[in-house]
Structure 1
Amino acid sequence: MDWRCVAPGIILVLIKFAGTSLFVTFIPQIFPRGNLSFVPEDNFTVLEVTPSPTENLMTTSVRITRAVQVGELRWENYGRNLYGFSQNMLEWTSGFSECDDRSSHLVIINDKEEMEFLQNRTRNAKYFIGLEHPDDRNQWLWIDDTEPRGDLFILKPNQVGKQCATLQGTEVRSASCYEKNHWICERKI
């Protein structure tokens, strides 16, 4: 066997193996928690022509607009409420607005049965709920300004920069309002 012909092939295989190993190692750091987003986006350009009131000149401006489609929620009926589980991830305030746009609000957990229903549907991901720790108050409050019941879950005192709450399975945790998570909307039937 002529090693002068085989050696380049072996070197090429080793280089490909090293490259693949690096790719597999660093791809989770580039896209943490599988946040590969394939949400369709619509980009369009609007040409605005407005007459100038002082002269016989027309002013032209170009505005580029980008609209992101959030997608529908997966609605489920439980008791006297409908619960909408998001398929994509947004910051807390955006989730709040998305619920409001759908004539609902971020979920407020009132009893153990409702908590169990939600726990069974949030095992695989974190979901924002309607619980927050406002700067001007020294306690956790639901978005309707009521206090959470102490027998439903235990939430540690507010940590710096974590003024919103998420639910994942049986755990309610404080979270940054600026991190992106799923969210749950609630509305009466």
Structure 2
Amino acid sequence: MSDVEVTYSTMRFLKSPSEPQNRVRPEGAQPPLDTQDKECSVPWRLIAVATGILCLLLLVAIALLVTHSKLFAKWFCCGAKCYYFTVKEHHWKACNQMCQDSGLSLLRIDDMDELTLIKSQAHPHSYWTGFSYDPRQNKWKWTDNGTSDLNLTAISLQSLRGKCLFLSSTRIDIIDCYGNFHCICEKRMGDGL
């Protein structure tokens, strides 16, 4: 036979929980921890509830932003200009004043390319532009006194006191300045934006 050492041990099972446990432990072994009457040092339930509430609030905020995104004005930049499309409707003078109060100017359309670009962004509303009839000078002009290569010959620009130019995604036309439309303000990049 070979020299193999065999070790036997005896297992003893408790018959009831009240029976004392007299076990012999090897040196260095730790007794099991009794966790029935102790509370965890980290408040897990509190952390779980707080995290759940935070997630719920974030979901509600995201849902509100998505469903009410039409309530916010929009900025759009292209080339050397940035455009600010308002949500609220105003008459022409109020639009002009709002733009000026914000350090902007009411939209001046420089050419047909810009008109096409703005009309593509205008859907579904109509917007005031910065082009109106100035009765003091008896002529049509842009609010910033700038020039434009926009061809407005398709529009009858006779002496129309109290008239202003508006645009939509489908047309550009002259109308009474006291009507209510949305505003498009602009800022040129070289003007300190």
TM range (shorter): 0.5 to 0.7
Residue matched to 1:163: 163
Query: What's the CA shift for 1:169?
Result: 2.0
Matched, 1:121 2:121: yes
Query: What SS class does the counterpart of residue 134 from structure 2 fall into?
Result: coil
Residue matched to 1:188: 188
Letter in 1 for 2:103: S
Return the alpha-carbon distance in structure 2 between the equivalents of residues 153 and 76 of structure 1: 28
Structure 1: 5+ residue runs without aligned partners?
A: 1-70
Residue matched to 1:79: 79
Paired residues of 1:112 and 1:152 also in contact (CA < 8 A): no
Return the alpha-carbon distance in structure 1 between the equivalents of residues 173 and 163 of structure 2: 10
- Residues 97 and 72 (structure 1 numbering): CA distance in 2 closer, same or farther, change over 3 Å? farther
Query: What's the CA shift for 1:162?
Result: 4.2
Q: Show CA shifts across 1:76-120 (max 9, x none).
A: 111111100011101111111111122110010112221111010
Letter in 2 for 1:100: Q
Residue matched to 2:19: none
Return the alpha-carbon distance in structure 1 between the equivalents of residues 99 and 81 of structure 2: 14
Query: What SS class does the counterpart of residue 133 from structure 1 fall into?
Result: strand
Residue matched to 2:99: 99
Return the alpha-carbon distance in structure 1 between the equivalents of residues 140 and 147 of structure 2: 7
Letter in 1 for 2:184: I
What is the aligned length? 119
Query: What's the CA shift for 1:143?
Result: 1.1
The sequence identity of aligned pairs, in percent, is 23
Residue matched to 2:145: 145
Question: Structure 2 length as normaliser, TM-score?
Answer: 0.55
- Residues 162 and 123 (structure 1 numbering): CA distance in 2 closer, same or farther, change over 3 Å? farther
Residue matched to 1:27: none
Query: What SS class does the counterpart of residue 87 from structure 1 fall into?
Result: coil
Letter in 2 for 1:126: S
Query: What's the CA shift for 1:188?
Result: 1.9
Structure 2: 5+ residue runs without aligned partners?
A: 1-70
- After superposition, residues 37-48 of structure 1 pair within 5 angstroms as none
Bigger share in strand: 1
Letter in 1 for 2:120: N
Return the alpha-carbon distance in structure 1 between the equivalents of residues 144 and 137 of structure 2: 14
Letter in 2 for 1:179: G
Return the alpha-carbon distance in structure 2 between the equivalents of residues 125 and 164 of structure 1: 16
Q: Show CA shifts across 1:133-167 (max 9, x none).
A: 01123332111224543536632124755421101
Point out which structure has higher relative CO (alpha carbons under 8 A, 6+ apart).
2
Letter in 2 for 1:185: C
